[in-house]
Chain A
Amino acid sequence: NAGVTQTPKFRVLKTGQSMTLLCAQDMNHEYMYWYRQDPGMGLRLIHYSVGEGTTAKGEVPDGYNVSRLKKQNFLLGLESAAPSQTSVYFCASSYFLRGSEAFFGQGTRLTVV
């Protein structure tokens, strides 16, 4: 029972490079989220999706794009990485029709140099 799986777990990028983080869930959840976590700031929402083919901006969306072509996958893209995007990124998913907790992936530690 995989739950929520994120890849990669670690990555170092040079300023200006691009990359995509992949999140996959096998629980048939409608909602998926991308958060970033910085020291002392809790989890801040980047983008979220309420279903296949839909995305919406969260609290800190600048510099990121997302896509949800399949219900089970939610991709987070950085087109031109900046040092300010050095952070730990968490993907999460949840049910919509009934309240539930958010289920988290194991996180991706990204360093932009």
Chain B
Amino acid sequence: EDKVVQSPLSLVVHEGDTVTLNCSYEVTNFRSLLWYKQEKKAPTFLFMLTSSGIEKKSGRLSSILDKKELFSILNITATQTGDSAVYLCAVDNYGQNFVFGPGTRLSVLP
């Protein structure tokens, strides 16, 4: 059975801190790994990763994939209160399904 695990499930930090969110997976047919941010409504897309070792970066957010060890990390530097959200990791198993993890709830305190 395909599975995506995220850790930690919940995290509280103060503005300016740097956080690392973890995602590990076990799927039969891997095409890509995706990160989403969800704030009370629909998930919004952050990154899609297909190759190991190539960092994707967008402002203060960055992510990298290790296909040998089957995990990915999402880094957020200099956190702001607007970063408070649930961060979802998902794996595309070649279009049959996007398998989602339970999410990491990040709270950034002022």
Kindly state whether residue B64 has any CB partner on chain A within 8 Å.
Answer: no
CA separation between A100 and B100, bound complex, in Å? Answer: 15
Complex contact B98–A102 (CB within 8 A): yes
**Interface residues as binary, A42-64 with B (CB distance below 8 Å gives 1, 0 otherwise):** 11110010100000101000000
CA separation between A90 and B88, bound complex, in Å? Answer: 14
- Give the A-B contact count at a CB cut-off of 8 A: 56
Give the interface residue-count category, chain B.
20 to 34
24 residue pairs of the A-B complex, CB under 8 angstroms, read: A30-B95, A33-B97, A33-B98, A40-B102, A41-B102, A42-B88, A43-B43, A43-B100, A44-B100, A45-B98, A48-B97, A58-B97, A90-B42, A90-B43, A94-B98, A99-B32, A99-B48, A101-B34, A101-B45, A102-B90, A102-B98, A103-B45, A104-B42, A106-B42
Residues of B participating in the A interface, judged by any CB pair closer than 8 Å: 9, 31-32, 34, 36, 41-43, 45, 48, 50, 88, 90, 92, 95-103
Apart from the given pairs A99-B31, A99-B32, A99-B50, 19 other A-B contacts in the complex at a CB distance below 8 Å: A31-B95, A33-B98, A35-B100, A40-B102, A42-B100, A42-B101, A43-B100, A44-B100, A90-B42, A92-B98, A99-B92, A100-B48, A101-B48, A102-B34, A102-B98, A104-B42, A106-B41, A106-B42, A107-B42
